[in-house]
Amino acid sequence: MTRTLRIGDQVVLDRERLAGLFEAIRKLGYVVHGPILSDGAIVLGPIESDRDLPIGWRDRQDAGTYRLERREDDAVFGYAVGPHSWKRLLFPPKRSLWRAEREGARFHLLPIVEDTPKLALFGVRPCEMAAIRVQDRVLANGQYQDSNYASRRRQAFVVVADCHEPGGGCFCASLGTGPTEQGEGWDLAMTEILQGRHRFLVRAGSSKGLDVLRALPWTETSPADLQAAERQRQRALRRMGRRMNPEGAKELLYQAASDNHWDEIAQRCLMCGNCTMACPTCFCVTVVDRTSLDGSQTERERVWDSCFSLEFSYIHGGSVRFSPYARYRHWMTHKLASWQDQFGTMGCVGCGRCIVWCPVGIDITEELETFRSRVGGNREAVR
């Protein structure tokens, strides 16, 4: 170590030093969460050290299928993405809004202490980092700020891990959200190199990231390291499972609003909502009121919801989107089209979770191209 590190610098960290990285992060007061093996999948959970990571495992993914298998090496990040997204830590599935307790004939509100721990998000994929930026725009920097999300996000320490093993459902490359991290909002970004000496190229993206990196024994990046990283990136691009052409998607889906093909999709869709629960950008919620059996206490909670549920669009007199046709059309059109009008960006980052975790394997990339061919080449398909 012969120079002073600055934001944007990239150095080499040997695989044996990964435990020290965890220790340096935890010394700053962060509770580390990252990928772990559980119930036959790679999910997110608290981790104490690098030993908790899914070392030597890969996930085989495609439309409606997911399974784990052993790798031939000891890759730390040798998988794509699992069913959990990081929104479950930044935008929890359940949050108490208020509580009240009865005293005689009156109620009084109970204090609620917001739990906003200092979280370190370890192993965030570039597509997932893109999703966090989308949620930042909507929930932290938009017209109506979610204070709990903003607080969690402000305190979070983010470690991005470039992807070198895309799954069958992945299409981040065609949307510019992977397989390597090119955006902002993270503290450290890592590229795992498996050829030759097992090592990581680590970049600092913030002053917090610099503090952690300076506490570790690193070495200078060589041209051979950069070449190995580029070969790995090119290999990931070639192995990308799917592709989405986002050009003109907004106008296309608006034109296809009455296309007969929505009926065909609706006949396959189970309305289970898996796609929205697994999606890293969806943020639909509802409010649930609960009262104790003896009537002495009551609580109002905000919980995740899905636009695929019949009750989600309920207003006085009934649901606005009562048919599967209307609900799937709303989800796909909002995700790829009207989201752009509302938030200035698409609501899709190419992670492929909606394809993989759909029980019947409905493929959003395939459906978009179907509409492109029907609306673009056969105007009679639109009624």
User: For residue 220, what are the CA distances in angstroms to 4, 84, 125, 199, 224?
Assistant: 12, 35, 24, 12, 11
Q: Residue 318: its pLDDT value, please?
A: 84
Residue 177 pLDDT more than 70? yes
- For the chain, report the end-to-end CA distance as a whole number of angstroms: 68
Pairing status of strand 318-319 against strand 119-124: unpaired
Burial group, residue 88, by CB count within 10 angstroms (0-12, 13-18, 19+)? middle
Q: How far apart are CA 52 and CA 46, in angstroms?
A: 9
List of residues 6+ apart from 258 with CB closer than 8 A: 382, 383
Residue 227 pLDDT more than 90? yes
Kindly report the number of other CB atoms within 10 A of residue 332's CB atom: 23
Q: How far apart are CA 135 and CA 121, in angstroms?
A: 15
Contact 186, 157 (CB under 8 A): no
List of residues 6+ apart from 323 with CB closer than 8 A: 266
Q: Residue 110: its pLDDT value, please?
A: 86
Band of pLDDT at residue 379, cut at 50, 70 and 90 = very low
Residue 179 pLDDT more than 80? yes
pLDDT average, residue stretch 150-154: 94
Q: How far apart are CA 299 and CA 285, in angstroms?
A: 16
Q: Residue 369: its pLDDT value, please?
A: 95
Kindly report the number of other CB atoms within 10 A of residue 266's CB atom: 16
List of residues 6+ apart from 100 with CB closer than 8 A: 107, 108, 109, 110, 297, 298, 299
227: DSSP letter: H
Residue 208 pLDDT more than 70? yes
Residue 3 pLDDT more than 80? no
* 30: nearest Cα among 122, 120, 109: 120
Q: How far apart are CA 30 and CA 47, in angstroms?
A: 11
Tokens coding 252: 């296309």
Pairing status of strand 157-161 against strand 188-193: parallel
Residue 378 pLDDT more than 70? no
User: For residue 272, what are the CA distances in angstroms to 276, 359, 361?
Assistant: 9, 9, 12
Pairing status of strand 31-38 against strand 41-46: antiparallel
Q: How far apart are CA 98 and CA 87, in angstroms?
A: 22
Q: Residue 20: its pLDDT value, please?
A: 94
Tokens coding 87: 């929104």
Q: Residue 16: its pLDDT value, please?
A: 93
Kindly report the number of other CB atoms within 10 A of residue 246's CB atom: 17
Task: Check residues 379 and 238 and name the one with the higher pLDDT.
Answer: 238
Residue 117 pLDDT more than 70? yes
259: DSSP letter: B
**R_g over Cα of the chain:** 23
Residue 96 pLDDT more than 80? yes
Question: 271-322 pLDDT, tens per residue?
Answer: 999 999 999 999 999 999 999 998 899 999 999 999 999 888 888 888 888 8
Q: Residue 113: its pLDDT value, please?
A: 80
Q: Residue 162: its pLDDT value, please?
A: 96
For the stretch 209-226, what's the b/e string if a residue is b when 16 or more beta carbons lie within 10 angstroms of its beta carbon? Answer: bbbbbeebebeebeeebe
- Helix 126-135 to helix 147-155 angle, to the nearest 10 degrees? 140
CA 12 to chain centre: 27
User: For residue 236, what are the CA distances in angstroms to 61, 170, 189, 196?
Assistant: 15, 10, 17, 18
pLDDT average, residue stretch 52-71: 95
